[in-house]
Amino acid sequence: MPNLIMFNQLSLDGYFVDPHGDMSWAHNPELDEEWDAFVEGNARGGGMLVFGRITHDLMASYWPTPLAEQNAPVVAEHMNSLPKVVFSRTLRESPWANTTMLPGDPATEVRRLKNGSGPDMAIMGSGTIVTRLAAEDLIDQYQFVIVPVVIGAGRPLFQGLTVKLNLRLSDTRSFDNGNVLLTYEPA
């Protein structure tokens, strides 16, 4: 039974996007070989990527480009080759390789995927989908990277969540660039 892992970066003041939906602040400019190796290792982890339409559009506009291949060749290779599912009621197809569009209810579709024999899944960005899946107790692990930046305003990751999530800290890891990875599981 596949697991669903949520991976998102948050500012110190608790936002995952700025007021304009931008996440460029999350790319820490401090050079850190350990962080770079962690990012490459996550990309090599395999599995299936899960996105909402907005995050899909952002990712699909960057990862299949020569710039992505130049800046992060290992990550680009895996982002482009891994299977991807995108929840969208408006987008019917994607130019991004290995992408399947799912127009149905995200919770229903994730339950179906989790009841199958497919690979583990990772959801990045996609705050609305994360909130929906968290409310249905469908996320098996939450990985938050706290980035040492304060952006002042934006959108919190769980905006609109109407249930309490009780989580248990299962791991922490800090990096020289100031990023801190906090891993939680449902309590």
Q: Is 87 exposed, middle or buried (0-12, 13-18, 19+ CB in 10 A)?
A: buried
Enter the tokens of residue 91: 């987008």
- pLDDT tens, N- to C-terminus, the chain (187 residues): 899 999 999 999 999 999 998 888 998 777 899 998 898 888 777 789 999 999 999 999 999 999 999 988 999 999 999 999 999 999 899 999 999 999 999 999 999 999 998 889 999 989 999 999 999 999 999 999 999 999 999 999 999 999 999 999 999 999 999 999 999 999 9
Please calculate the CA angle 153-67-5 and round it to the nearest 5 degrees: 55
Q: What share of the chain is helix, strand, coil (3-state, %, to 5)?
A: 30, 30, 40
**Closest listed residue to residue 16, CA positions, set 137, 129, 168:** 129
Domains of the chain: 4-12+48-176 (3.40.430.10)
Count of other CB atoms within 10 angstroms of residue 10: 21
pTM value is 0.93
Which sign does the torsion angle of CA 80, 99, 47, 179 carry?
Answer: positive
Each residue's pLDDT tens digit, 3-49: 999 999 999 999 999 999 888 899 877 789 999 889 888 877 778 99
